Chain A
Amino acid sequence: MTTAPVIPPAPDRDFVLLRPFRLIGRTVIGGFREIGRISSFSARVLVACFTPVIYLREVLRQCLKIGYYSLPVVGLTAVFIGAALALNIYQGGSRFNAEQFVPNIVVLGITRELGPVLAGLMLAGRVSAGIAAEIGAMRVTEQIDALLTLSGRPERFLYAPRVIAGVLMLPLLVLVADIIGVMGGWLVAVGALEFNGALYLRNSWSFVTSGDIQSGLIKAAVFGGIITLMGCYQGDRSKGGAGGVGRAATLAVVGAAVLILASNYVLTSIFVRVGL
């Protein structure tokens, strides 16, 4: 008896040809889905930020963690950036015999741009990762489930206090960074570039406007919201034990940093347009 030869099935040509398109489609849909999830999460948290009940004790605890404990890192960043900026501007300005503008450009650069952006980026590393890790650990050890069974809502009890604290504390930290950054420039200018100390400070003070400071503080408040929201979002979505918590912390830092830089451009464009 002879048996019919087994014919292998023809390769699915359609599938092979469509594979790149499917990959692109999947990536795009995944991207939109993630944007949708972040938007929905942010909306829920923002509603919790503006409606009672607000747990003031938790807000104060987070203000301490986000604000007070970040002072050293923000201060150190600002002093070195101010000092390096003064040296760079002196070096560049000497090509046009414009060395005398060092205080003006240092104060402008620090208050409008470097103060908020660098403080934001430093806190994306310190605060956003910390929040994501803390909430992620709560998620994987069922503490968030326990909170729900105890009639607690994570938006109100965990996320809103962190976001409120971030939005309140970042402008204060940036204000401190502005002062310390200018003083970093002053130290280098007086110590190494033979500027008159009193004149340097007078030039800085008379040049900077309230608009320069306000624009930096508005940026800082937005960055504070981004940093804390990304930390909460990634922590809330973490799963799978220690690896999942670590991944959440990494994603929170990367997401917050990218959003800070992107929103910095958008905000700067708006400020330029409205003349702030």
Chain B
Amino acid sequence: MIVQNAPIIELRDVHKAFGPKQVLRGVDLAVAPGQSMVIIGGSGTGKSVTIKCALGLMTPEKGEIFFDGEPAKSAKAINAVRRRTGMLFQGGALFDSMTVWENVSFVLLYRDHVSRAEAKKRAIETLAKVRLPASAADLRTAELSGGMQKRVALARAIIASPELIFFDEPTTGLDPITADAVNNLIVEQVKALGAAAITITHDMASVRKIADEVAMLHEGRIIWRGPVSALDKSGNAHVDQFVNGRAEGPIQPAI
């Protein structure tokens, strides 16, 4: 799918460094409403940094980020972005001092000040969307398996019906069957919400299942982007090496 509508989010020439290490060297990326973009790339190429910059969790040294056409620079603008987006973190990042339903309904309880009874009801409804039973609502997050934690994190990301959802390595650490189930849930819920999605992953099965479009990040820049159907005939040696998982090629293994 090619971007035709005005993008929901756009990164223009974004640079980010940590001390002497330049991680992003001018990332340009635009995602249209309803589009599912997957960013691939080797370890340490700046994929997580890209989405943390997009969410205002990190401040780029140079470049601009626009959300729905408005610059997301001031604290107020970044807060407005966060109200309209959801995020699933790599490790789940569930609050371990809270129960499952309190995690899922966090924005309802603490941002929208919904009553606890109503928040719990909506949390249980959202848990059902990610195939978790109501009996899981009162569990502590430490009592959940890795797959269940990812589902709870997904429920937390979608409960407020965001317009854009970020997924940071959603299937890392899961067995292939559970990973496929999580991929299916992501596709199903993103489509149900009509939201855009930006996913970063190394998992090519996830890429093929989730993506409308794929972008490859290498040495801090997007070096290729195209529809997922073009992934196997990209004509780009870096993309070919990554997609086929070969140690030989222009990308040096990160060891």
Q: Of A145, A150, A151, which is within 8 A of B52 by CB?
A: A145
- A59 to chain B minimum Cβ distance, whole angstroms, is 14
Name the B residues within 8 Å of A149 (CB-CB). Answer: 55, 57, 82, 85-87
Inter-chain contact A141/B93, CB cutoff 8 Å: yes
> Using a Cβ cutoff of 8 Å, how many contacts connect chains A and B?
49
Name the B residues within 8 Å of A147 (CB-CB). Answer: 95
Cα of A109 to Cα of B87 in the assembled complex, Å: 55
- B166 to chain A minimum Cβ distance, whole angstroms, is 8
Inter-chain contact A150/B57, CB cutoff 8 Å: no
- A146 to chain B minimum Cβ distance, whole angstroms, is 4
Inter-chain contact B110/A145, CB cutoff 8 Å: no
Name the A residues within 8 Å of B97 (CB-CB). Answer: 134
- B4 to chain A minimum Cβ distance, whole angstroms, is 28
Q: Which of B74-98 contact A (CB under 8 A)?
A: 79, 82-83, 85-87, 89-91, 93-97
Cα of A151 to Cα of B97 in the assembled complex, Å: 18
- Over the window 126-166 of chain A, the binary record of Cβ atoms lying under 8 Å from chain B Cβ atoms (1 yes, 0 no) is 00000000100010011101111111100001000000000
Inter-chain contact B106/A152, CB cutoff 8 Å: yes
Cα of A261 to Cα of B97 in the assembled complex, Å: 32
Q: Which of B50-71 contact A (CB under 8 A)?
A: 52, 55-57
Given contacts A150-B106, A151-B79, A152-B106, contact A145 B57 (CB under 8 A): yes
A55 at the interface (CB under 8 A from B): yes
Inter-chain contact B91/A141, CB cutoff 8 Å: yes
Name the A residues within 8 Å of B86 (CB-CB). Answer: 149
- A92 to chain B minimum Cβ distance, whole angstroms, is 49
Residue in A143, A146, A152, A157 with the greatest tally of chain B CB atoms within 10 Å: A146
Name the A residues within 8 Å of B243 (CB-CB). Answer: none
Q: Of B56, B87, B110, which is within 8 A of A146 by CB?
A: B87
Q: Of B83, B96, B156, which is within 8 A of A151 by CB?
A: B83
- Over the window 81-125 of chain B, the binary record of Cβ atoms lying under 8 Å from chain A Cβ atoms (1 yes, 0 no) is 011011101110111110000000011001100000000000000
Given contacts A148-B82, A151-B79, contact A143 B93 (CB under 8 A): yes
Inter-chain contact B93/A55, CB cutoff 8 Å: no
- 19 contacts across the A-B interface (CB closer than 8 A): A55-B110, A134-B97, A138-B95, A142-B89, A143-B94, A145-B52, A146-B93, A146-B95, A148-B55, A148-B57, A149-B57, A149-B82, A149-B86, A150-B82, A150-B106, A150-B111, A151-B83, A152-B110, A152-B111
Known contacts A150-B106, A150-B107, A152-B110, then 4 further A-B pairs from the complex at CB < 8 Å, ordered by chain A residue: A141-B91, A146-B87, A150-B82, A151-B79
| B residues with CB within 8 A of A | 52, 55-57, 79, 82-83, 85-87, 89-91, 93-97, 106-107, 110-111, 156
